[in-house]
Amino acid sequence: MAGVALAIADSPDAREDPELSGWLAARSGELAGIDPLADDSLCHGESGLLELLGHSALPALLPGVRAAWVRRAGTLVAAADRAGPLCGTPGHVPHPGLLTGLSGIGHGLLRAGFPDRIGSALLLDPSRAP
């Protein structure tokens, strides 16, 4: 669900559709309030959810989403520091992959710390470094 919501958030035409923008706001609000996910991956974990909640289009649709993003980003960083990253593999077995592995989690942590300087791998956005 977060992936579909991210695609809608990233499409100006989709956001102009009242039904899609309403769905996006409702789903994003639901996702912002759920418990931390079982892993930290870009594919189906906390890093991927942070991509959605941190999208620049969401604050106009969902007031308070920035606070949820900050809270979840802090939780992800603290959990990774405390217990190490949790890959999106059975048994959280570490591997170097982008979507379910350590490189994607590392990218998500960089985005959590520097969202204005690190581009989105999921949206294929280039870095916006100065």
Placement of tokens 């639901």 in the chain: 30
Q: How confident is the model at residue 116 (pLDDT cuts 50, 70, 90)?
A: confident
Let me know if residue 123 belongs to a domain.
no
Let me know if residue 66 belongs to a domain.
yes
Let me know if residue 122 belongs to a domain.
no
Domain that includes residue 90, residue range: 2-113
- Domains identified in the chain, total number: 1
Which pLDDT tens digit goes with each residue over 49-80?
999 999 999 999 999 999 999 999 999 999 99
Let me know if residue 93 belongs to a domain.
yes
Span 107-128, average pLDDT:
89
Which pLDDT tens digit goes with each residue over 17-39?
999 999 999 999 999 999 999 99
Task: Tell me the C-alpha distance between 128 and 116, whole Å.
Answer: 6
DSSP structural state of residue 90: G
Distance of CA 25 to the CA centre of its chain: 15
Using the Cα atoms of residue 50, residue 106, residue 38 and residue 6 in order, give the sign of their dihedral. Answer: positive
| Residue 130 pLDDT greater than 60, yes or no | no
Let me know if residue 49 belongs to a domain.
yes
* In contact, 118 and 110? CB cutoff 8 Å: yes
Looking at every residue in the chain, the average pLDDT score rounds to 94
Neighbours of 126 (CB within 10 A): 7
Let me know if residue 84 belongs to a domain.
yes
Q: Given this model, what pLDDT does residue 126 score?
A: 79
Let me know if residue 10 belongs to a domain.
yes
Which residues contact residue 71 at a Cβ distance below 8 angstroms, ignoring those fewer than 6 apart?
Answer: none
Residue with the larger pLDDT of the pair 83 and 128:
83
Let me know if residue 15 belongs to a domain.
yes
What Rg do the C-alpha atoms of the chain give, in angstroms? 14
